[in-house]
Every structure is written in structure tokens, then in C-alpha cells.
Amino acid sequence: MAALALVLTAACSGSENADTAGGDEADPATATITPEDGADEVKPNLPVKVEAEGGTITDVAVQQSGGETPDDSADMSGSLNEDENVWVSDWNLYPGSDVEVAATVQNPDGEESEVVSEFSTRSATEGQRLELTSNFPTSDQTVGVGMPVVINFDMPVENKGQVENSIEVTSEEGMEGAWNWFGDETAVFRPKEYWEPNQEITVDLRLAGVEASDGVFGIENHQINFEVGREQISTVDDEEHTMVVERDGEEIKEFPISNGDASKHIYTTTSGTHLTMEKYEHLVMDSSTVGIPVDSPEGYKLDVNYAVRTSGSGEFTHSAPWNGQLGESNESHGCTNMAPEDAKWFYEESLMGDPFTVTGTDRELEVDNGWGYWQRSWEEWLEHSETGEADRTDGNGTVGSPHGKPEE
């Protein structure tokens, strides 16, 4: 897209005898703004760029209105290069928006000039608007130290790198983290190590204007604010039939348990790092949900209390007053059976995202079974990231650009 250089001369010119006052005056600085003044149907994921000649950039203001732009939208932030003569917007523009870019440049003598460009962006077509269907956690939740950020979109994302770079995760304690995709509609952010406990996390989803796929644009920005609580990590030893709970590095509980009897692969409790996902004070467990008809010889339909989900394949910790082999042998269909008072304690003391590690079985938890995301090493996690680089959660932006490339 061609760029238009708009040059404004100084409001006051020097006198004819300027040479006698100390030498030649510097020419006014000029600036070029892209997109150009008067352009319309500009793709909202193209960057706003200001380039100064003969001076430096002292201020850039980007105002958006109309279309999908909310009334309380903030000014667009941007990044200035080391020479202070090139400014590029950090994020994308709202679709269907009227945009005004006002840039102030300064020559070596301190004389300022202002350049303005006004243009409009392309609207997002109905049926081609990227939106969220759900996210975990939600704002105001307190979660465990293993909690990922899970974003579910309403349509497939092809430009995964641009979408990754449009979402910034900020924590009070800066850490490394990265995104992985599970299918084309689910993005998951995980830190390199468990979150430091007792801190606030903010997720800024600057999706407005991002081109998720060809012609599919985000139309709205979102923010998620949640808290990481105390550190609670539970470890189940399948061979010893015990569960040990540690809180903030100190062992606080040890329970006798009974895992899956392993008579079939499906009845084997999965080994690996799980996360607690959801919990129910009362739950009906139906074998048909895992492909075993209730009326078959191996079918079951049980009413259980104090159930805490640890996988997507039907594994829970729960009360099992009928199991007389707690601490002695494995007798369940894959769940971790507990005494009623123990199950109640674990139910009440668990947060979503608490690590729950099982050792000693020959069935490995899959990375996409529930929230088995810690099953990937950090190196593997980075390899599966579209950008291939770690983000820092220190508020300094993402590792790459959320913008698309100019049309040829």
C-alpha cells in the first residue's frame, strides 16, 4: 500500500537576517504515515506506521471510532525504535473503524510539526468473526499453581502465530510461558514451571482486528483476571495405595486410596501429572460415558459424593464407602477411591488447577486427556508453539507481531 508523506511547515518562519543570529536553521522534520490519508477498506490487521525524516517522533495518537469500536476503547499503544524515528502500532485496529493518526515530529532545533492521516478499516463479515466460546479460568477465580490458560474459539484458526501474539499474559512474578494448540480452535498457555503461588494474573486478549483465517477477523478485546492461590500438590503412589498432599512445600495429609484394578486398559488409572479440573458434591457415574453399556456385565451406574475430576477420560477422586481395600489393593474402574471423610476434605480443599500426580501404573496420561498439558516437557512445549519462542509474563508484550503482511 502506497504511503503518503504529509509535510507541514513551521507556523513561524525565520527572519531574513537569521544567519546573523547564529547560523542556519534546521529544516522542519517531515513524517510519513501508513496507511495513507484517505484510504478505505484497510485490513484491520495491518500495522500503523509512522516514519520521521529529518528529526524524531515525539508523540503518536491513534483514535478509533465507529464500526465495532467500543465507546471506551483506549488509544493504540506503539513501539518506537532506538533512533526514535520509526513508530509501529503494537496491536491491530478494530474492523469497520474510522481511524485518525496524529503524529508529532521534531527537528534538531526542537521545532515541532504535526502530520495527520485519516482512513477507515474493512468491516468484519457476518459469519466470519472470531469470537470466544469459553475460557478457563474465568475472571475472579482463585486457581492452583498448575492452572493453564485455556481459550476456546468459535471457529478454526489458521494464522495461529498472529493469534498467539495478540494475547498477552502478565503475572506479578514474571515467568516464561508459551502457547500450544489442541486442534484449530483451542489455544493453551502454560508457564515453564508451576506459577509462583499467591499472585494476580492478567490475560489481555487483543483479538480485535486479528486475522484468524483468510477474511476472518476478531471483533472484540477481552481481559481475564484471576488469582493463583496457595501451592497444593498431591501425589498418588499406585503401588503403595497412598495419596500424599503437600501445601506450600510441607506435607499436610496422607490418605489410603484404591486405584483402578487394571483388569483392562480402560480400568487402569493413568500415570502422570494431572490437574484437578472440576468438582461435584454429588455425581452419578455412568459407564456408558466411557463406552461401556450400563446393562453389560461390566457396566455400572453409581451415585458418588465429593468427586474431583482429574482427567477427561472419567477419572475422579471420590468417596467410596463400599471399598474395603483402601490402602491395600486397587479395586476401582480407574478412579481414586477414598474414605468418605478423606474425600470430603480433598473436595473442600481443592482448587481448579492443583497438580495431581499419579505414579506406578503402566497407562500414561495423554497430553490432551483433560488438562494433561504438563505431560510435555518444556522443550516439547516450545516445539509445539507456533512462534517457537517463550513469552515473558512481565508486561513487555509478546514475542512476535500480531499483524498480517501488506497485500501485494
Active site residues: 318, 335
Strand order in the sheet with 112-120: 56-65, 98-106, 112-120
Cα gap 25→13, rounded to integer Å: 10
Cα gap 35→121, rounded to integer Å: 10
Cα gap 382→387, rounded to integer Å: 8
Contact criterion met (CB below 8 Å) for 62 and 75: yes
Place of cell 477427561: 312
Beta partners for 355?
Answer: 275
Place of cell 526542537: 110
Cα gap 48→4, rounded to integer Å: 13
Half-sphere exposure of 134 (CA within 13 A, CB side): 4
Contact criterion met (CB below 8 Å) for 166 and 252: no
Cα–Cα distances in angstroms (integers) from residue 109 to residues 28, 30, 103, 226, 346, in the given order:
9, 14, 18, 49, 70
